[in-house]
Structure 1
Amino acid sequence: MHARKERHIGFLIFPGFPMACLTSMIEPLRAANEIAGEDIFRWTLISEDGGRVEASARVGFDPDVALADIDDAEQVFLLSSPSSLFQNPERSNGKLRKLARHGVTIGAISGGVFPLARSGLLEDQTASVHWCYEAAFAEEFPHLATSSDVITFDNRRVTASGSAAAFDVSLHLIEQAFGADVATEVACWFQHPFVRGQGVLQRKPTFAAESTSDMLPPVVRDAVAMFSSHLEDPLNIADVAQEVGVSVRQLERLFQKTTGSSPLVYYKSLRMHKARQLLLYGTQTLVEIAAAVGYSSSTTLAKTYKEVFGILPKEERSKINMFRVREGIRASD
């Protein structure tokens, strides 16, 4: 029996990164080594300068190496918040591009897709973007192709929408190294329900209801799809009802039954959640955000925003900017 080749994976962590995404990748790899009785997978924690990094949960991590000194990893995954930036973008983005040129697979988990895109390594690629970041990502990178799949494998780019998707990425790596039986056993160890791959869509919440978008009846799902594609130029509810083939009264009953709100309130909620994404993760002004969700002024937006979230947009942005300054990551105006 031939000895299996060691698989070395690097995790590039930025201040404020989601810790769950890191553990969701490492723990399955550790379990696979244990189940198979072979230390095939090894991993290295990387930071830009090799210094200590604090996760969003205020847990500190001491990386093994600086980005400039990593040369033998087969894959490198970026883990960050959407606002994370390199302290020395020219040098560090150059290092990532050099790794990619030398055949290293470069990936990103959750918010890590933002610094990956800023590095230029998603040009002519498709990336999975978490639904809560999609508006901000589209604002900053309107020319890049995105997917609502939980995972996207595109040439030597791997993107995963969140921590559960990161676990699925590790299961795919395990299957490649040890076979399907070990991957299935690892999934069962952690009570992971099934191995998801490319083509599986993210589940999105139906706001103000205990359900997800895939649980909605077809008429409501079609109406929500129309709402979602017309956030900047809001539609008349009567026109939506006609398009999906029911009366306004029928549409209202269906929405109330399945989402707990009227179509109009649900539509407003969708627009406000997009506004919140842009506010928290983007750099647009409040006037620009208002226009992006179909409001004529930032004053009107602010009133509705407070009705939905209980806080004014300016106050929310001030809170998130305080966090960004404290974490040493980008703050927007």
Structure 2
Amino acid sequence: MTFGIVLLPNFTLTAFSGFVDLLRLASDEGDFSKPVRCAWTVVGESLTPVRASCGIQIQPWQTFDDAGSFDYVVVIGGLLHSGPGASDATLRFVRHAAATASTLVGICTGVFALSRAGVMDGYRVCVSWFHYWDYVARFPGVDETLLVADRLFVIDRRRISCSGGRASIDVAAAILQRHIDAATVQKALRILLVEDAQRASAPQPHPPGTKPVTHPRVKRAVHLMEQHIGRPLNLEELAERVDMSVRHLQRLFKTQTGESPLAYARRMRIRTAAWLLTDSDRTVAEIAAICGFADASHLGREFRKEFGLSPNAYRADRVRADAGSGQEPRPGFARSLT
């Protein structure tokens, strides 16, 4: 198997490293990392290094003109709103690969480049829940029945799209299991300390406290709420963005969730704040800003309504619960409580 990997400007390093490392570990025995079962090449318009979103730069090994054909062409994206996107040369390379026997793989926002190249028409497209509305805005004619934002990845004939992050390991495992024995892939996963690869049908992790919804317009509204946790949309903005009247949106939300849109959004923000209190060392003021509250006092009032405790008391209770269970306190919590 041969893999040609295209890195877009501001690509996500985790998505790249997770995908390549599983190829590397499954390709050879022992600790030699030789391209025995599969080979991978980073290709680009030129040999100029491509900057990841974290600042690390990767230099392509070959240019598009010098690269041969590949069994899989993998396009890895990242930040959408910072710097240039896929170049015209990249889009031409993608179209050329689509005309051959290559399978095209879009990881993270790499699928945006595949769609820009016009090679995703009629195929299902998997995007992160966080970028669902970005995709709809950039490709307004998309058939939304083909747009998937609740699964880790989608394999549709010779098109594969992946939501990104750690799911790049899962999609690499799914590809490898098409060609080599499952025991070899499982061994590679264990070396990466991944217990087992997730299936494509596994749900994407969503912000805590959200209730599942099925109506496509309500799903879009929920995705917008998730994207705008730090700057909540008002009801009129939300209804306009999903092309519905306020009253219709309210009725659908009540039917789907038993709550009004504003109550649903408030609960989402509160639950996200609770998760950040127990899984980060951020201050209450920082969490209030992240979750769209005016200040720490505003968060405190809303938090007491939901949990009957102040944010600091809630965090302290969780620290004590961890100590009682024998777990080590989460880093930074002692500092946050002083």
Q: TM-score range by the shorter chain?
A: 0.5 to 0.7
The alignment partner of 1:85 has SS state of: coil
Separation in structure 2 between the aligned mates of residue 98 and residue 113 of structure 1, nearest angstrom:
16
Deviation of the 1:123 alpha carbon: 0.9
Deviation of the 1:189 alpha carbon: 1.8
2:148 matched residue in structure 1: 147
Runs of at least 4 residues off by over 6 Å: 223-226
Residue 125 of structure 2, aligned match among 127, 149, 161? 127
8 A Cα contact 1:79 1:108, kept in partner: yes
Residue 158 of structure 2, aligned match among 156, 159, 180? 156
1:63 matched residue in structure 2: 60
Residue 72 of structure 2, aligned match among 68, 72, 75? 75
Residue 243 of structure 1, aligned match among 255, 258, 280? 255
Deviation of the 1:169 alpha carbon: 1.5
The alignment partner of 1:68 has SS state of: coil
1:319 matched residue in structure 2: none
Residue 175 of structure 1, aligned match among 174, 177, 191? 177
8 A Cα contact 2:75 2:107, kept in partner: yes
2:323 matched residue in structure 1: none
Could you tell me which amino acid in structure 1 is paired with residue 53 of structure 2? S
Deviations 1:168-193 (A, max 9, x none): 11112322232111122222222223
Provide the identity percentage: 17
CA separation of 1:62/1:310 partners in 2, compared to 1, >3 Å: closer, same or farther? Answer: farther
Deviation of the 1:65 alpha carbon: 1.0
Larger relative contact order (Cα-Cα within 8 Å, sequence gap ≥ 6): 1
8 A Cα contact 2:218 2:249, kept in partner: no
Deviations 1:16-46 (A, max 9, x none): 1111111101111111123388711111111
Residue 186 of structure 1, aligned match among 188, 210, 213? 188
- TM-score of the pair, normalised by structure 2: 0.63
Deviations 1:284-316 (A, max 9, x none): xxxxxxxxxxxxxxxxxxxxx9992779xxxxx
8 A Cα contact 1:227 1:267, kept in partner: no
Could you tell me which amino acid in structure 2 is paired with residue 243 of structure 1? T
CA separation of 1:310/1:8 partners in 2, compared to 1, >3 Å: closer, same or farther? Answer: farther
1:9 matched residue in structure 2: 3
- TM-score of the pair, normalised by structure 1: 0.64
Deviation of the 1:104 alpha carbon: 1.0
- Uncovered stretches (5+) of structure 2, i.e. residues with no partner: 222-237, 271-288, 296-338
Residue 308 of structure 1, aligned match among 292, 305, 330? 292
Separation in structure 2 between the aligned mates of residue 263 and residue 178 of structure 1, nearest angstrom:
46
Could you tell me which amino acid in structure 2 is paired with residue 24 of structure 1? G
The alignment partner of 1:132 has SS state of: helix
Whether 1:94 aligns to 2:92 is: yes
